[in-house]
């Protein structure tokens, strides 16, 4: 029997993806141990959620550091101390430095609210609507220093409805986003998904087409 996957979570906001991971663990669906929550925004809701769950947390302000690299050195020293198997960026609103990514190569994933490679960065829902897209979604990808540019592991998709605005589109996507993140972390915890190399592997086979969030609680190969 595998030991629970040790996860460190990076978050900057409300912590809804963190909550989804914790709820899935409590339901017995996700064999993980969240060993720390880390933030660039002291006082954010994600830290309060960690406190309610009895999870150690740490926050530091970017303004207290001379550079991004110094900020990341300090932050990732703290993360290294909890010995995570996986680092999950769940609404973490900062680019991670080259040195930090190299230090934890093959151990960092991010959840992003678009069908990458479409719409890296911010305002993804408004950008999808402005482009007239008929389909929108979220992605989990491996983290590299470039913004939202790492190998895409999996997608979840929803239709864009007549009358949708950025807020309604975001609200409809959120639950699916949570499901996608939980399913991806579960696949890593179960050993079905390996992100340790230069290209993610699904049951030992390189992923050349992103996996999909399945209705049965598991990722699915769409090839």
Q: What does the pLDDT look like over 31-65, one tens digit per residue?
A: 999 999 999 999 999 999 999 999 999 999 999 99
pTM: 0.97
Q: How many CB atoms lie within 10 A of CB 151?
A: 18
The domain made up of 5-220 has a fold known as Rossmann fold (3.40.50)
Determine which one of 112, 136, 141, 178 is catalytic. 112
Task: List the domain boundaries for the chain.
Answer: 5-220
Q: Is 112 a catalytic residue?
A: yes
Closest CA to 218 of 192, 188, 183: 183
- How many residues comprise the chain? 223
Phi and psi of 195, rounded to 5°? -110, 15
Of the candidates 88, 78, 80, the one whose C-alpha atom is nearest the C-alpha of residue 46 is 88
pLDDT in tens, the chain (223 residues): 789 999 999 999 999 999 999 999 999 999 999 999 999 999 999 999 999 999 999 999 999 999 999 999 999 999 999 999 999 999 999 999 999 999 999 999 999 999 999 999 999 999 999 999 999 999 999 999 999 999 999 999 999 999 999 999 999 999 999 999 999 999 999 999 999 988 999 999 999 999 999 888 899 997 7
């Amino acid at each position: 029997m595998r030991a629970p996957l040790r996860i460190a979570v990076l978050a900057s906001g409300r912590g809804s993806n963190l909550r989804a991971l914790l709820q899935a663990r409590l339901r017995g669906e996700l064999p993980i141990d969240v060993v720390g929550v880390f933030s660039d925004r002291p006082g954010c809701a994600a830290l309060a959620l960690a406190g309610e769950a009895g999870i150690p947390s740490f926050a530091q302000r970017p303004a207290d550091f001379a550079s991004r690299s110094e900020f990341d050195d300090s932050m990732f020293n703290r993360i290294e101390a909890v010995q995570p198997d996986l680092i999950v960026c769940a609404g973490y609103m900062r680019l991670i430095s080259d040195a930090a990514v190299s230090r934890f190569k093959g151990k960092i994933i991010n959840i992003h609210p678009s069908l990458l490679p479409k719409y890296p960065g911010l305002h993804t829902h408004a950008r999808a609507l402005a482009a007239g897209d008929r389909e929108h979604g979220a992605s989990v990808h491996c983290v590299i220093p470039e913004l939202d540019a790492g190998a895409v592991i999996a997608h979840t998709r929803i239709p864009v409805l007549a009358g949708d605005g950025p807020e309604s589109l975001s609200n409809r996507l959120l639950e699916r986003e949570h499901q996608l993140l939980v399913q991806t972390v579960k696949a890593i915890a179960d050993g079905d998904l390996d992100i340790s190399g230069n290209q993610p592997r699904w049951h030992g086979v390189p992923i050349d087409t992103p996996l999909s969030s399945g209705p049965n609680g598991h990722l699915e190969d769409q090839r």
